[in-house]
């Protein structure tokens, strides 16, 4: 049976919850519909997060992102919705979602939304020579 779009995000146990590490995910085939014209909007989503106890399972993320294909959504709204849903599913220490939308009418749009768990501090970045 072929896969179907789904709003259900699955997670799995973080294999190293004692350590801060970053997971970066690139979703280059996101589509939704312009709520004003009904025309398709295309985007690449960049997701970066520092997990706590749960990580997002990638196939469920693919099906989740696919679920927006026939929905009308402004770029700002859909980027924040993706962040809210991922935060609700994983409860990360930190998460950043960037929606990099393709050109429409000569205008490119990037929307960046972030979540910081209260009290969590990022460690200083180590710069190597």
Residue 113's Cβ-count burial label (10 Å; 0-12, 13-18, 19+) is: middle
Q: Which of 41, 55, 70, 84 is catalytic?
A: 41
Would you call 41 a catalytic residue per the annotation?
A: yes
Q: Which of 86, 18, 96, 84 is nearest to 55 (CA)?
A: 86
Q: Which residues contact 110 (CB under 8 A, 6 or more apart)?
A: 98, 99, 100, 101
Residue in the block written with tokens 């919850």: 17
Q: Which of 20, 34, 52, 85 is catalytic?
A: 34
Would you call 52 a catalytic residue per the annotation?
A: no
Structure tokens at 89: 């599913």
Q: Which of 12, 5, 42, 14 is nearest to 27 (CA)?
A: 42
Give the separation between CA 14 and CA 104, rounded to whole angstroms: 39
Residues annotated as part of the active site: 34, 41
């Amino acid at each position: 049976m072929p896969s179907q779009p789904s709003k259900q995000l699955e997670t799995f146990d973080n294999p190293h919850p004692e350590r801060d590490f970053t997971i970066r995910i690139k979703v280059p085939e996101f589509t939704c519909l312009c709520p004003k014209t009904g025309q398709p909007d295309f985007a690449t989503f960049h997701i970066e997060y520092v997990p706590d106890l749960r990580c997002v399972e990638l196939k469920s993320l693919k099906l989740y992102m696919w679920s927006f294909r026939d929905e009308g959504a402004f770029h700002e709204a859909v980027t924040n919705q993706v962040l809210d849903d991922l935060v609700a599913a994983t409860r990360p220490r930190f998460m950043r979602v960037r929606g990099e939308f393709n050109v429409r009418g000569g205008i490119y749009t990037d929307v960046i939304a972030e979540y910081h768990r209260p009290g969590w501090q990022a460690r200083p970045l180590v710069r190597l020579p």
